[in-house]
Amino acid sequence: MKRLLLLSIAVILVPQFARAELAESHRYFEMGVDVQAGISNNYLGLTDILVKELVIDFQKMEREVPDDGLTFDYTADADYHMSLDINKYFRGKLFFGVDGSGYANIGHELFEILGKGVKVNESKSIGLSLYGDLFLDAGISYKTDIKGFGVRVEPAVYMPLVHVADTSAKLKYTSNKAGLIRADAEIPVDIYTIVDMDGFKKDQVTMEYVSNAISEAIRNIGFDLFLEVEHKITRTFEMGGFTRIPIVPGKLDYVASTRYWAYAEQSNFLGYLNDTNSFKSDSGHDEFTYSKKTAKVHRPFILGAEGAWRPFGPWCTFRPKMDMVIRNPYSPEWQIFGEYALSVDFRFLKVVGLHFATRYENLVFSQVMGFSLNTRIVELDIKAALRGGDFANSFDLSGAAVQLGLKFGF
């Protein structure tokens, strides 16, 4: 009886292990859409804000805000795909989508001033920075098996829609013995766009304007190539290496420029004692100016490795992943950073799935939980995440993300 039971288990599991791979296919033909959005910062949690009486403790903020300052970020993307999975030698996919992200940072020096105060005859600068991108992309993916190695080739074209150039600015403050304290901030912002935004402002959107905009957009399309090779290392462990190589940059030929500014001045600070002090402040931005100036924008270069370990069978998969990213390579704005992810997927009777993961991607930490329901014809995938620019506060409701996927086929 025991031998019969073991034999039955082996008959069920061995074929599953034999065809297990990094990303398993569920249907011969499939169409699907995935939508996700997220926002976070690296200090303020939702529980810090949603209180009956909001108390701002600048001394506490000075101690607790990370040394690299207060950061804010957002991400949003939507993707559609159509795939055909005939066998291990032919797996093809068409896809297109939109992808956006942005980042802003306020230097820690600001919280030092707010928490510790200012000194007489002191001047200090505070760093401010921001950037953002929005892309359209489309491509094809082809995967085959070559002598036991899974090989995937994915050429893609992309069209940058908006690029907020890396902006670095300074907030300066000065003080003197007469009780004068003054702070000045000035942030120049250049927003590169795929069309001339001056035409929108002047209500000059004609058929000719639209036709010219489409022609220019097509001429300015970029191109990159994604490659992946995977191989079964042991009966239960599969490993792969991947890279995305930017080849032709996308271009944006128009720029809208402005300058945001603000100042605050406190005269005769000690005059608070006898009402002889004075305070004035103002803020605003200059009128937008529009010009023709080309910015070359690449999607990030990526180089990494990932694995799939199924120690108990196909119902439980551990997925480690590490990669290196260079944002907007070949440009003065390039930025290099590492990423990682560790996830575990449970799939019961090939119908109900659970997903848990911890990640650091695009400079943001996230803790993810997900649920999926696969009825063979239709598959629903829902994920929710807590996010944060710091690992500890990614558990503290300082940000959140949600992802919804819907696939159907046969």
CA max distance for the chain: 97
> Which pLDDT does position 107 carry in this prediction?
86
Rounded mean pLDDT of the chain? 86
Query: Is 19 a residue whose pLDDT tops 60?
Result: no
Task: Average the pLDDT over each of 4-18, 131-145, 233-247, 370-384 and give the range with the smallest value.
Answer: 4-18
Task: Average the pLDDT over each of 122-126, 251-255, 366-370 and give the range with the smallest value.
Answer: 122-126
Half-sphere exposure at residue 115, Cβ-oriented, CA atoms within 13 angstroms: 14
Helix or strand (DSSP H, E) at 91: strand 90-106
User: What whole-number distance in Å separates Cα of residue 91 and Cα of residue 114?
Assistant: 58
Helix or strand (DSSP H, E) at 82: strand 70-87
Average pLDDT on 82-107 reads: 94
- Number of structural domains in the chain: 1
The parent domain of residue 366 ranges over 2-409
Q: CA 120: distance to chain centroid?
A: 43
> Which pLDDT does position 236 carry in this prediction?
95
Handedness of CA 198, 201, 203, 205 (dihedral sign): positive
Model confidence pLDDT, tens digit, residues 347-365: 999 899 999 999 999 999 9
Pick the most confident of 51-55, 218-222, 303-307.
Answer: 303-307
User: What whole-number distance in Å separates Cα of residue 282 and Cα of residue 263?
Assistant: 6
- Return the higher-pLDDT residue of 297 and 64: 297
Q: Which two tokens stand for residue 258?
A: 């402005």
Average pLDDT on 126-143 reads: 92
Handedness of CA 52, 58, 64, 67 (dihedral sign): positive
User: What whole-number distance in Å separates Cα of residue 71 and Cα of residue 393?
Assistant: 12
**CB burial string 225-241: b at 16+ within 10 A, e below:** ebebebebeeebebbbe
Q: What is the DSSP letter of 67?
A: T
Model confidence pLDDT, tens digit, residues 268-308: 655 555 666 677 888 898 999 999 999 999 999 999 999 99
Half-sphere exposure at residue 162, Cβ-oriented, CA atoms within 13 angstroms: 15
Q: What pTM, to 2 d.p., does this model score?
A: 0.83
Average pLDDT on 216-240 reads: 95
CA angle at 182 for the pair 179 and 186, rounded to the nearest 5°: 175
Residues 6 or more apart whose CB falls under 8 angstroms from that of 55 comprise none
User: What whole-number distance in Å separates Cα of residue 299 and Cα of residue 333?
Assistant: 12
Query: Is 335 a residue whose pLDDT tops 50?
Result: yes
Average pLDDT on 248-273 reads: 82
- Return the higher-pLDDT residue of 217 and 169: 217
Q: Contact, 355 vs 31, CB < 8 A?
A: no
Helix or strand (DSSP H, E) at 213: helix 207-219
Q: Contact, 366 vs 391, CB < 8 A?
A: no
pLDDT tier for residue 15 given thresholds of 50, 70 and 90: very low
Query: Is 30 a residue whose pLDDT tops 90?
Result: yes
Nearest alpha carbon to residue 83 among 17, 154, 136 = 154
